[in-house]
Amino acid sequence: MPFPTPPRVCIVGAGAIGCTLAARLAGSGQPVSLLARGATLAAIRANGVRLHDLDGEHAASVEASDSCAELGEQDLVFLCTKAPALADLLPTLAPLIGAQTAVVPVVNGVPWWYFHGEAGRFAGHRVNSVDPDGRLAGALDMEHLLGCVVFITAQVEAPGVVRSNNPHLMILGEPTNRLSERLERVRALIEGAGIEARATDRIRDQLWTKIIANLTSNPLSVVTGATLEQLYGLPELRAVVAKILNEALLVAAAYGARVSIDPQTFMELGAGMGPVRTSMLQDYEQGRPLELAAIGDAVVELAGYQGLSMPTTQDILTLARFRGAPFPSTEPSRQRQ
Q: Strand, helix or coil at 103?
A: strand
Provide the CB-side half-sphere exposure for 226 (13 A, CA): 25
Give catalytic status of residue 210 as yes or no: yes
Give the integer Cα–Cα distance in Å for 232 and 236. Answer: 10
Q: Helix H segments across the chain? A: 16-27, 38-47, 68-71, 86-89, 135-139, 181-192, 203-224, 228-233, 235-254, 263-271, 279-285, 292, 298-305, 311-324
Residues 127, 98: contact at Cβ < 8 Å?
Answer: no
| CB atoms closer than 10 angstroms to residue 67 | 10
| Max CA separation in the chain (angstroms) | 76
Residues 219, 310: contact at Cβ < 8 Å?
Answer: no
Preceding omega of 6 cis (within 30 degrees of 0): yes
Give the integer Cα–Cα distance in Å for 272 and 291. Answer: 24
Catalytic option among 52, 144, 210, 238 = 210
Give the integer Cα–Cα distance in Å for 52 and 80. Answer: 19
Give the integer Cα–Cα distance in Å for 175 and 148. Answer: 9
Q: Tell me, what DSSP letter sits at residue 91?
A: G
Q: Phi, psi at residue 104, to the nearest 5°?
A: -115, 100
Q: Which helix (H) or strand (E) holds 42?
A: helix 38-47
Give the integer Cα–Cα distance in Å for 251 and 297. Answer: 13
Closest CA to 175 of 216, 151, 197, 143: 143
Q: Which residues are catalytic?
A: 210
